[in-house]
């Protein structure tokens, strides 16, 4: 997959996020760790939109983050508005990938992308579970 060819239209979920002054670092660009917070906000709302219980401590069908892989493609600075796209790009038996991209308001291609390996989890029993149907129904694989 060519990351530079990704567009907002490639995502079935988009969240708009406004940068804050505090998001910049000493080099006057958005700090790399801040993008992880942007991804998290979008990912939680995306899962909530699918019907996954985001109050995880109450749920028998929820998720837990196992791994993340981030590609920083270009920098950005304050002030700015970003669109964060989310899609389920891979299904396993008990885990799935959420692929996300952050688009700078002024750019067509993403500035940061991330793959978030997510495990289905029952917080009551503290056990992994099979992927629920609502996740399977939202699967949007990339055509290679």
Return the DSSP state at 130: P
Q: What is the pLDDT of residues 57-76, one digit of tens each?
A: 666 788 999 999 999 999 99
Is 104 domain-assigned?
Answer: yes
Whether residue 79 is preceded by a cis peptide bond, meaning omega within 30 degrees of 0, is: yes
Residue carrying the six token digits 């219980």: 53
Is 62 domain-assigned?
Answer: yes
Alpha helices in the chain (DSSP H): 32-50, 133-137
Rounded Cα gap, residues 79 and 104, in angstroms: 11
**Contact (CB, 8 A) for 142 and 127:** no
Q: What is the pLDDT of residues 78-110, one digit of tens each?
A: 999 999 999 999 999 999 999 999 999 878 999
Number of domains in the chain: 1
| CATH code of the domain covering residue 79 | 3.10.129.10
The model's pTM is 0.91
Is 130 domain-assigned?
Answer: yes
């Amino acid at each position: 997959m060519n990351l530079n060819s990704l567009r907002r239209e490639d995502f079935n979920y988009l969240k708009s996020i406004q940068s804050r002054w505090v998001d910049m670092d000493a080099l006057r660009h958005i700090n790399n760790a801040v993008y992880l917070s942007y991804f998290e906000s979008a990912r939680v709302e995306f899962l909530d939109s699918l019907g996954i219980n985001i109050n995880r401590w109450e749920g028998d069908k929820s998720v837990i983050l196992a791994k993340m892989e981030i590609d920083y493609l270009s920098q950005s600075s304050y002030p700015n508005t970003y669109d964060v796209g989310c899609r389920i790009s891979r299904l396993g038996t008990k885990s799935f990938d959420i692929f996300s991209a952050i688009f700078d308001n002024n750019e067509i291609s993403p500035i940061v992308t991330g793959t978030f390996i997510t495990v289905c989890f029952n917080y009551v029993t503290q056990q992994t579970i099979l992927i629920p149907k609502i996740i399977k129904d939202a699967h949007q694989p990339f055509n290679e």
